[in-house]
């Protein structure tokens, strides 16, 4: 069986790409090393604009059946100042849904893969891509090992990398670069925490921050982000380090004092890394395979789905013209970077704030007096308010 496109990775970005391509009549082969459903380290958050993309994918109804709704976010500063912002329409900017959602990656990924199975897609689970087939300036396919240990060479005019932070495609093409921000995330689940409800909770206590995200009744995803240098020596004793580190975030420690950790701690790091645009033809990259900065703004899944949407438009046009050169595909990467550039700047600014205790407290005090500005910030982080509106809002509000 031949295919027009090989997609490496069946997480949200890869599954979304396969769905959209198949619906446009493109023959797709989708490969993943796992068998679904499977757990995945993640903050497990969907922004208010993510449902628009899930709706387009035909997956929103299934997600609604199992996801928790988040009407806003509560942010606790180092000095205990608590800010509560809501996802709501602000002027002309209206979210697809006036709430975010929390859902486990095991459930979300399974829903999207089930949607893939309903389409004429050659889905191959437990198939690990080990290398690319490259000739001159063109990627021609992949080398892979299936669940029975058999080596295969699979070819297609276009290969799309959706294989996340450890992307074989990015590494094989020499595109991945380190980032100066060296942090790691530790993730687990807690239960029996009182008052879990309709908001996500962020606790800022430099150099750390933590996110408590209620993914089901009585159950929350708890993510703790710390400097890589602090956590790496404890890689063999993550549970011990995690439990001890929580005591250094007093507001979080009090918040979860009546709860209990119900899952082992898993870690991922360094979180931030850069990926250069491909310089070869026959390849596109989506989702975390394109790079990642930090999870504070929760943009990961939305960006993965949005990049899939943009890549499919470029792929269909290039396949139709029969031109899969690097030049023909470069427009996608330019458009993706333009679409995410301003929010990345906001995220960089937030990282400076949450890395300094005094600055974090000053920012909290400033926003506590300006609730509309806080909602505007949540709109930017929720992907429905343009980031430049935040700059305008800060200038206007600072006059009063």
Reply yes or no on whether the pLDDT at 299 is more than 80.
no
Over range 174-188, report the average pLDDT.
93
Reply yes or no on whether the pLDDT at 54 is more than 60.
yes
Look at residue 400 in the predicted model and tell me its pLDDT. Answer: 36
Over range 272-296, report the average pLDDT.
91
pTM: 0.95
Look at residue 396 in the predicted model and tell me its pLDDT. Answer: 54
Over range 66-87, report the average pLDDT.
96
Percent of the chain with pLDDT over 90: 86
Neighbours of 148 (CB within 10 A): 6
Confidence of residue 298 (pLDDT cuts 50, 70, 90): low
* Ranges 77-81, 146-150, 307-311, 395-399: which has the least confidence: 395-399
Over range 48-77, report the average pLDDT.
97
Percent of the chain with pLDDT over 70: 96
Over range 318-330, report the average pLDDT.
97
Q: What is the pLDDT of residues 103-113, one digit of tens each?
A: 999 999 999 99
Reply yes or no on whether the pLDDT at 65 is more than 80.
yes
Q: What angle do CA 336, 338, 342 make, to 5 degrees?
A: 120
The Cα 130–Cα 123 span in angstroms is 17
DSSP 4-70: SEEEE--SHHHHHHHHHHHHTT--EEEE-SS-SS----S--EE-TTHHHHHHHTT-HHHHHTTPEEE
Over range 311-326, report the average pLDDT.
97
Q: What is the pLDDT of residues 214-229, one digit of tens each?
A: 999 999 999 999 999 9
Over range 347-376, report the average pLDDT.
93
Contact between 154 and 28 under an 8 Å Cβ cutoff? The reply is no
Q: What is the pLDDT of residues 239-266, one digit of tens each?
A: 999 999 999 999 999 999 999 999 999 9
Reply yes or no on whether the pLDDT at 199 is more than 90.
yes
Cα dist from 329 to 132, 165, 314, 395, whole Å: 18, 22, 7, 39
Give me 131's structure tokens. Answer: 């290398």
* Average pLDDT value for the chain: 94
Confidence of residue 344 (pLDDT cuts 50, 70, 90): confident
The Cα 49–Cα 332 span in angstroms is 21
DSSP 217-266: TTEEEEEEEEEHHHHGGGTT-HHHHHHHHHTTSHHHHHHTTT-EE-S--E
Look at residue 297 in the predicted model and tell me its pLDDT. Answer: 62
Closest CA relative to residue 73, chosen from 60, 63, 86, 64:
86
Look at residue 395 in the predicted model and tell me its pLDDT. Answer: 47
Confidence of residue 2 (pLDDT cuts 50, 70, 90): confident
Look at residue 272 in the predicted model and tell me its pLDDT. Answer: 87
Over range 2-17, report the average pLDDT.
96
Over range 13-26, report the average pLDDT.
98
The Cα 266–Cα 99 span in angstroms is 28
The Cα 265–Cα 189 span in angstroms is 8
The Cα 174–Cα 239 span in angstroms is 34
Distance of CA 173 to the CA centre of its chain: 23
């Amino acid at each position: 069986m031949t295919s027009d496109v090989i997609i490496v990775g069946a997480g949200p970005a890869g599954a979304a790409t396969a769905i959209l391509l198949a619906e446009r009549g493109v023959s797709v082969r989708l490969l993943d090393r796992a068998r679904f459903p499977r757990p995945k380290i993640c903050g497990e958050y969907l922004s208010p604009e993510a449902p628009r993309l899930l709706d387009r994918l035909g997956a929103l109804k299934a997600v609604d059946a199992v996801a928790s709704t988040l009407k806003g976010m509560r942010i606790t500063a180092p000095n205990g100042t608590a800010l509560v912002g809501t996802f709501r329409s602000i002027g002309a900017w209206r979210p697809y849904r006036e709430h975010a959602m929390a859902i486990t990656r095991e459930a979300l990924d399974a829903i999207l893969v089930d949607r893939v199975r309903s389409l004429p897609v050659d889905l191959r689970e437990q198939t690990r891509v080990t290398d690319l087939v490259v000739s001159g300036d063109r990627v021609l396919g992949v080398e892979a090992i299936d669940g029975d240990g058999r080596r295969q060479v699979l070819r297609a005019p276009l290969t799309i990398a959706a294989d996340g932070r450890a992307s074989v495609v990015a590494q094989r093409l020499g595109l991945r670069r380190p980032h100066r921000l060296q942090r790691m995330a530790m993730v687990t689940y807690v239960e029996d925490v009182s008052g879990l409800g309709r908001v996500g909770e962020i606790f800022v206590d430099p150099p750390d921050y933590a996110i408590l995200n209620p993914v089901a009744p009585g159950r929350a995803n708890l993510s703790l982000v710390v400097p890589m240098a602090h956590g790496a020596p404890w890689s063999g004793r993550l549970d011990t380090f995690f439990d001890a580190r929580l005591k250094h975030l007093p507001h979080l420690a009090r918040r979860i004092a009546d709860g209990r950790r119900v899952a082992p701690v898993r870690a991922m790091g360094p979180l931030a890394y850069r990926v250069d645009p491909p310089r070869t033809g026959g390849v596109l990259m989506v989702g975390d395979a394109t790079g990642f900065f930090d999870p504070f703004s929760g943009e990961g899944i939305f960006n993965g789905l949005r990049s899939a949407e943009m890549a499919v438009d470029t792929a269909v046009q290039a396949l139709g013209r029969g031109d899969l050169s690097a030049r023909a595909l470069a427009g996608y990467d330019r458009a993706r970077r333009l679409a995410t550039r301003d929010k990345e700047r906001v995220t960089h600014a937030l990282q400076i704030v949450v890395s300094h205790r005094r600055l974090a407290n000053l920012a909290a005090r400033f926003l506590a007096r300006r609730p509309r500005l806080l909602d505007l910030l949540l709109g930017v982080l929720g992907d429905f308010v343009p980031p430049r509106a935040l700059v305008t809002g800060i200038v206007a509000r600072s006059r009063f």
